[in-house]
Structure 1
C-alpha cells in the first residue's frame, strides 16, 4: 500500500469509525483532501438542479392534490401526497449537502444542524421507500377487490397507514440523533457518525440496506407482478386494452427507476460493510470506489426525488388535466393583471401629457348672448376633442405596451 494512502488512512483515524451518514452528499472518511475539484463542482451543481426540480415538481403535486378538496380523494392520492411531502423535504436538505461538498466536505452549520439535517434526510428516505411500497400493495389490492368483489381500503385507513409509516420513519432516525456529531479530523470539522462499538456502524448500514432496498424492492416487485398477472387473467378478448398497456408500461418504469436509482448506491454500501467486518480488504479499488464512484451513485439515488412526481402523478391523465387547468388559470390571472397594469399606465400617461400642451389652456371669454355662448362652447369642445385624439394617438396604447 502506498504511503499516500497510508497517510490518508491515518489522518482519518479509522475509515469506518468516522463514516458520514449514508445518503448525504459526501463521505469525508472516504474522500481525501486531494479529491477532484471538478468532481466536487459537478456534485454541487447536480444537487442544486435536483433540489430545484424536486421542489418545483413535488410542490406542484402537493398543490394539485390539495386543490381537489371537496372531491372524493382516491386512496392512491393519499399515498402520493405523503410521498410528495417526503421528496419535498428531502429536496430541502440538498442545499446543505451541496454546500458541504462545495466546501470540500467541511461542515459549516454547527452541532445542532449536524443532527437535524441528517435526521430529516433519513426520515425522508425511509418515508419515501415505505410509501412507494404501500402504493404498490394498494394498487394490487384495489384492482383485486374490484375484480373479485372483495373489501377495499377506505381513505381513513390510507391516512392512518401513511401516519404509521411516517412514525416508523421517525423511529429510524434515533441512531442518527444519538450518534451524529461534529468531529475534528486532521483539523477539519466534519459531521460524522461515531458509534460506541466497532461494528455498530456496519450493522446500522446493513440494516438500512435491508429495510430501504432489499425488502421494499421484493414487495414492490411481487405486488406489480401479481397486478400484471391479474390484468392478464381478466384481459378482454385475449388482448390487452389501451389502459392495461399504459398500466404495464408505468409499472415497468416504476420498478426500473427504483432499482436503477438505488441499486448502485447500495452496492457500494454493502462493499463498505464487508470491509468493516474484515471480509474484504481496504485497497486501492476500495479507495477509488468511495472517492469517485460513491458520490456519483449518491447523486443518482437523490435524483429519484425528481422522478417520483413524473412517474406517480404527471403520467396520469387526471393529474395532467389538473396541471393544464392550473397553468391556464395562472396564465389568465397573469394576463389579466398585466392588461390591467398596462391600461393604468396608458391612462396615467394620457392624464399627464395632455395638460402639457399650451393649446389645452383655452380661454373662455364672456359671450354677449346665449346663442353666441352656445356656439362658442361647442366650438371649444370640438377643439379639445380634436387635440385629445391627436395626443392619445401619439402615446403608446395598452396593445403597444404589451
Structure 2
C-alpha cells in the first residue's frame, strides 16, 4: 500500500483507497506463510543441530551454512505475525514496537541471507579454483570474523527500514503496519530516505551479490570442466558439484527476482513516475505473493546447502535416532568434499599447464 497519501483529521486518507485488498489474498497468503514457517523452522533447525552436533564448526563452509540457517530462523519467527496481519485484512494488532522490529528483521534477513550466500560462493571459488593460494584466507578464524562483519553490516542496513515503519490509522479505523507517510514538514527528506532504502535493497540486497555469485559459479564451472578433460574418473563427482551450484543459483534467482521486479515498480510509484490507481492495485495485489516466493528461499536454503550431501543425510539420520556423537573418524562436510575435488581440479589444471610448457619447449 505505497500509494499517495494525505493527512486527514481522523487518520490517513488514501488517494486510491486500500489497494491490493482482496479476500483471496487474506486467505491464501497466510496459509503460504504458515507452510513457510513450519518447513523453514524444521529444516533450518535440523541444519543447526546436525552441524553443531556432528559436523562441527571446523570448516569455513559449515560456519557460513550455520550462520545462514540462524539468519533464516531469526526471520521465520516473525512469519506468524505477518500471517495474522494478512489474515485480518491488513490489520496490525501487535503494537508499534513489534511493527518496527518485524519490519527490520525482514530486511535484516534479506541482507544476511544474501551476504552469507555470497560468502559461500566466494569461499567455494577460492577452494576449488585457487586451493593452495587461498589456504591462508580460508581459515576458521577469518570465517568467524567475516560472519561478525556480515551481521553488523546487515544490522546497520536494516535499521533505517525499522525506523521508517510504524502503525498507521486509516479513516476506516484500520491499523496498518507500514512505512511512514509524509507530512508537510518532512515530505522531501522522507522521500529521499525511502528512495535510498529502496535503492540499497535492490543494489546491495540483490543485484551486486547476484553478479558476484554468478561470476564465482561461472569461474568454478569453467575450472571443473577444464579439469574433467584431464581426469575422466572424476566426472560423476564433478557433475554432482555442478548440479548443486546450478541449483543454488537457480533457487536464488527464482525466489528473489519476482519480488525485486515488483519492488522496482513500487519504487517508481514512490517517485511519482507511476500514479495510476489500476497499476498501484496490480502492484499491491502481486506484492504479497512475490514476498511469499522470496520468503520461501528460507525454506530452500537447508535443502540446497545441507541435504544435498550424502554425509549430511547420514548425520541427520543419526540425529533423528538420537545416536551419540561417537568418534568414528572424520566427517566429510560440503567444503571438505569440495576441497578434495578442488585439489584434483588444480592438479589437472597444473598438468595441463605443464603439458603446454613441455610442448612449447619441444
- TM-score between the two structures when normalised by the length of structure 2: 0.79
CA distance in 2 between counterparts of 1:314 and 1:62 reads 12
Q: Contact 2:57 / 2:63 at 8 angstroms: preserved in 1?
A: no
Aligned runs of 1:213-362 on 2, under 5 Å?
213-237=206-230, 239=232, 241-291=235-285, 293-329=286-322
CA distance in 1 between counterparts of 2:15 and 2:303 reads 35
1:190 aligns with 2:183: no
Residue equivalent to 2:115: 130
Q: Which has the higher contact order (CA 8 A, sep 6+)?
A: 2
Shift of residue 136 of structure 1? 0.4
Instruction: Report the CA distance shift for 1:74/1:106 in structure 2 as closer, same or farther (over 3 A).
Output: same
CA distance in 2 between counterparts of 1:313 and 1:109 reads 35
Q: Contact 2:19 / 2:280 at 8 angstroms: preserved in 1?
A: no
Q: Contact 1:118 / 1:176 at 8 angstroms: preserved in 2?
A: yes
Aligned runs of 1:22-61 on 2, under 5 Å?
32=18, 35-61=21-47
Residue equivalent to 1:399: none
Q: Which moved more, 1:169-178 or 1:53-62?
A: 169-178
Instruction: Report the CA distance shift for 1:76/1:277 in structure 2 as closer, same or farther (over 3 A).
Output: same
Aligned runs of 1:95-174 on 2, under 5 Å?
95-146=80-131, 151-174=136-159
Q: Contact 1:199 / 1:276 at 8 angstroms: preserved in 2?
A: no
Instruction: Report the CA distance shift for 1:253/1:75 in structure 2 as closer, same or farther (over 3 A).
Output: same
CA distance in 2 between counterparts of 1:118 and 1:47 reads 15
CA distance in 2 between counterparts of 1:148 and 1:294 reads 45
- TM-score between the two structures when normalised by the length of structure 1: 0.71
Unaligned runs of 5+ in 1: 1-7, 20-27, 331-402
Shift of residue 129 of structure 1? 0.8
Q: Contact 2:47 / 2:66 at 8 angstroms: preserved in 1?
A: yes
Question: Which structure has the larger Rg over C-alpha atoms?
Answer: 1
Unaligned runs of 5+ in 2: 324-362
| Cα offsets for 1:35-72 (capped at 9, x unmatched) | 32122111000000100110000000000011037x56
| Cα offsets for 1:289-309 (capped at 9, x unmatched) | 322x11111110011100000
Shift of residue 188 of structure 1? 1.7
Residue equivalent to 1:3: none
| Cα offsets for 1:128-165 (capped at 9, x unmatched) | 11100100000110112326686441011101101110
Instruction: Report the CA distance shift for 1:61/1:9 in structure 2 as closer, same or farther (over 3 A).
Output: closer
